[in-house]
Structures are given as structure tokens and as C-alpha cells.
Amino acid sequence: MSRHLLRTAALGTLLLVGLLGGCADPRDDPRATGTSEGMRYCPGPNEPPVDPRTPCISQDPAQKYAENHGYRRQMAISEEQRAGARGKAEALGEALRGLAGTSAGEAEVRAAAAAALGLEPNRVEYRKRGEYVELGGGEGKVCVNGGIDGQGRATAEVAGRTMDGTCLPGLGGH
């Protein structure tokens, strides 16, 4: 056998051993139940308590809800950033009040919001739920979000971008 073939075979063997050696043991999964090697879920409020020295994973419904909806949280913005965007929020509110009572469609609403925010219309997030229209847009971590309802009431506010990178928070649901 040539040296090249020996090197190739040795390299292949090392690679195979490395890949197989990295396989996880199912008992290492923290969701394992009842084994002394793995952690288990902490008992719920209606279940008998376990030894407090036994590690377990929390089942707190409020904590799980918060974790599952973490993507909706807004990024923190400074008071300077908030103050710098207030003029755009006022302009957006004025543009939305100007649309009240009209039959403006999505394209017109996006265009008016984009002009108020200094953005291209395709960079304005738009969502309609029933008679309520929400929109938002911004630069960096700073967003200006607004809405107009079926009675013509308009709102606009400065907000931090959500953790998933949008101005309008996700609706959630399954």
C-alpha cells in the first residue's frame, strides 16, 4: 500500500472515531425521568415534593410562558434614541389621522407611513386585523409603531425593536 493510501485510511479512521465518540448518551438529556444520572422535571404544585438537594428543571408555567414569548420583548432603547424618534411618531400620528374616514388601502397607508417615517414603503410593516390597522418601521433598534381603528382614532409611539427583529410584535398562537 502506498503512503498516501495509508494516510487517507488513517485520517478516515480518526474522523469516524471522532464522529462516533461525540454521540450523546440519552441519559445525559436533562429531561430524563427518574434516573440518578439525569435531571428530571420538578414536581408541579399538586405533586409530592422531591428532596430539595435533587436537581430538577423548573415547570413554572409563568416562566415557560415568558420564555416562549421572549421573542416579543422589545429591545431596550436609550432616552436619547426615544427623544430622537418622537418627531417621527408625531408625524406618523398626523399621517394616520389624515387617513381616518378614507377608503385608503394598504398601499396608500404604507406610503403615508413611509413618508412620515422617512422610509421606503416596503420597509413599513403592515398588519390589518378586522378594522384595526397596525404599522411600524424604523432604523436600528428604534421603531415607531402606530395604528388606526375603525372609528378613526390614531396612535403612534416610539418603541424598541422586538427580539426577533421586527417593529410590530408577533401575534403568537399555535
Residues 74, 84 contacting (CB under 8 angstroms): no
Residues of the chain with pLDDT under 50: 14, 16-17, 29-36, 174
Residue 88 is predicted with a pLDDT of 97
Residue 5 is predicted with a pLDDT of 52
Measured at the alpha carbon of residue 122, what is the angle toward residues 121 and 125, in degrees to the nearest 5? Answer: 90
Residue 32 is predicted with a pLDDT of 46
> Look-up: residue for cell 417621527?
88
Helix/strand/coil for 146: strand
Phi, psi of 69, rounded to the nearest 5 degrees: -105, 15
Residues 137, 117 contacting (CB under 8 angstroms): yes
Residue 12 is predicted with a pLDDT of 56
* 79-99 helix and 106-117 helix, angle to the nearest 10 degrees: 140
* pLDDT tens track for 117-135: 999 999 999 999 999 999 9
Residue 63 is predicted with a pLDDT of 74
Residue 11 is predicted with a pLDDT of 54
Residue 31 is predicted with a pLDDT of 46
Residue 166 is predicted with a pLDDT of 93
* Number of CB atoms found within 10 A of residue 113's CB: 27
